[in-house]
Amino acid sequence: MTVAMSEAVICDYLRRVPLFASAPPAELEAAARSSRLLVRKKGARVFEEGSPADCCLVLISGRAKVVMTGERDTEIILGMLEPFGVVGELALIDQSTRSAAIVATEDCQFIRIPSDAFSLLRRNPAFQERLLTQVLATLRRANDQLRAMYTFGTTERVAWGLARMARERGRSRGTTVVLDPRPTHQEIADLIGSSRETVTRALMALKRKKCVSWSEHALEIETVAFKRLFRSDLIKADVTEITRLV
């Protein structure tokens, strides 16, 4: 369901997004005039992999996951979309179809920016440069994920998955990084291309080594123990996201 929203409110939201923050006011207002609020309930599919690209979306409330279809109709989570994250812009650059689907994991509100409005913003060289930087960061994250899935051992893959989640939505508390809400074992499994049972065993191993602990609502990562355990060359330089938070 799309809902009208005032131009001023949309501009205020967009200015909180790094990609749009420095856009000239007149250009941002022009984009806002044709943008709409898109509302999706928890569990709804926002757009599908392979569908035509006619807009990009800015999440302003809730959370959503970016997924690709794996073998036997399984889903691989490419990442989680947090408030003020942008999704769908890649397909607008080369006018291709969607490379992944978006699924709401909570009730979500998005600002829907149509392709024509996005194209007008791209005429600004500064905006185009910021867009390029964002695209390169997305590609690097995808490469990191492939490397973790296909070259790391089970425990290392789970550690990488936790590090990715910590970077995206972790909250630093001293030498501890808190993930709240606590990620489910299935969510971690989908991110690293593994089974839920495998993730459960790996998490128990990490808990015994005092790298992680959890309660009903949150998971805590002890970064000192985490860094001590994963100095191995098996982890290489890819599992370093977590250390940047402390």
Cβ(121)–Cβ(24) under 8 Å? no
202 and 142, same domain (yes or no): no
Cα-to-chain-centroid distance, residue 205: 26
Out of 147, 166, 181, a domain closes at 147
157 and 122, same domain (yes or no): no
140 and 48, same domain (yes or no): yes
> Cα–Cα distance between 193 and 93 in angstroms, integer?
28
36 and 123, same domain (yes or no): yes
> Cα–Cα distance between 58 and 85 in angstroms, integer?
6
130 and 17, same domain (yes or no): yes
Query: What is the value of pTM for the model shown?
Result: 0.77
Out of 112, 129, 147, a domain closes at 147
86 and 173, same domain (yes or no): no
Block residue for tokens 């399984």: 74
> Cα–Cα distance between 103 and 88 in angstroms, integer?
13
123 and 15, same domain (yes or no): yes
CATH number reported for the structural domain that contains residue 197 in this entry: 1.10.10.10
pLDDT of the residue at 142: 82
167 and 218, same domain (yes or no): yes
Q: Which two tokens stand for residue 157?
A: 């893959």
Cβ(219)–Cβ(176) under 8 Å? no
Q: What residue numbers bound the domain in which 231 lies?
A: 152-245
User: Count of domains in the chain?
Assistant: 2
CATH number reported for the structural domain that contains residue 62 in this entry: 2.60.120.10
117 and 158, same domain (yes or no): no
Q: What pLDDT tens digit does each residue of the chain (246 aa) get?
A: 777 788 899 999 999 999 999 899 999 999 999 999 999 999 999 999 999 999 999 999 999 999 988 666 677 888 889 899 999 998 999 888 998 999 999 999 999 999 999 999 999 999 999 999 988 888 888 887 887 788 888 888 898 888 888 888 888 888 888 999 899 998 898 888 888 999 999 999 999 999 999 999 999 998 888 877 776 544 534 444 555 555
